[in-house]
Amino acid sequence: MTTFKPDEIQFLLQTTRQAMQLVQMIQGEMVNEALTKEDRSPVTVADFAAQALVGYHLALAYPNDLLVAEEDSARLKSDPAMLGQVTQFVQRLVQAATPDRVTAWIDHNRVDGGERFWTLDPIDGTKGFLRGDQYAVALALVVEGQVMLGALGCPHLNSNAEPIPNSGALFYAARGYGAWAIDLQQNHTALRLNASGRGDPTRARILRSFESGHTNTSQIDDFARWMNAKGEPVLMDSQAKYAVLAAGGAEILLRLLSSKQPDYREKIWDQAAGSIVLEEAGGRISDLDGKPLDFTLGRSLARNRGILATNGPLHSSALQALRQIGA
């Protein structure tokens, strides 16, 4: 039973694309070689600005719809200088933006969960954003615990999910209607996404992150040895990895539990959009125990341990490998 409307797909695509363009604009003006490693202000400004823009569009199109998102306006209200920066950037796309309106849009119907809500990660892959590498704007619609719509705005991937700086593509899916990609620089024809059909574990290509804070790199090494995976690893941050999986550019993505954070649970905005894009391309996603992801418990996947995402044919073998290494 369809639980979304055609106009919501258009809303998803237009809003994700505009948010991505706004984030790119901020990155181009605020991220430079003089930026210190400790200075995260560009990504903070971009996070708030993108969420304000999405809140604005929600208030305009679906004023009663709920939003589960990473940011709230409390910090911004306590920093007038940053609020001014955020407002100025939002004004470039929404002339009516004021500081009060921006904070209201950030908090638009903001909740921790519910039967039906949109969930947003304004910038997934903050360190990739600061390095000028991969990151994604991720927006999804969740209904009764199931992701129904999802979009990833990836500024540095083309529609084949190849890493090309400033190429830009939207990867999106609707439950039961497949996964698609639109190249934002070339023609705007939607291309169908299909996950890799590889079923031989020795040919598996594993997506690995540059950043290792929420995973266990040594266990991933053990996993690769147990699988006897000979495919060249693909290094990439953020939910852009789901686009690569969905386009057939790799076979396996893991989020193992770090020994420093054994009780860590994934946030829903880090997985919702990517998960439906992968599933509708023919891939599979579960937690490390093989259980479906449970989006009914608010902001986190509290009943799930880690993430296993695959092209589909390799999912059972990957689960067996995880059991063997004790992940």
Distances (CA, A) of 49 to 21, 55, 298: 11, 10, 23
Q: How many angstroms separate the CA atoms of 80 and 86, rounded?
A: 10
Distances (CA, A) of 37 to 43, 48, 65, 125: 12, 20, 37, 15
Residue with tokens 């905005």: 269
Exposed e or buried b per residue across 73-100, where buried means at least 16 C-beta atoms within 10 angstroms of its C-beta: beebeeeeebbebbbebbeebbeebebe
The catalytically annotated residue of 15, 44, 47, 215 is: 47
**Residue 126 a catalytic site member:** yes
Q: How many angstroms separate the CA atoms of 242 and 126, rounded?
A: 16
Amino acid at 237: D
Cβ distance 300 to 264 under 8 Å? no
**Residue 310 a catalytic site member:** no
Nearest CA to 75 out of 51, 109, 91 is that of: 51
- Cβ of 250: how many Cβ atoms within 10 Å? 27
- Cβ of 29: how many Cβ atoms within 10 Å? 11
The catalytically annotated residue of 16, 87, 126, 310 is: 126
C-alpha dihedral sign at 273, 168, 98, 79: positive
Tell me, what DSSP letter sits at residue 268?
G
Nearest CA to 29 out of 104, 86, 81 is that of: 86
Segment holding 172, helix H or strand E:
strand 169-174
Contacts of 260 (CB under 8 A, 6+ apart): none
Q: Report, as residue numbers or ranges, the catalytic residues.
A: 47, 126
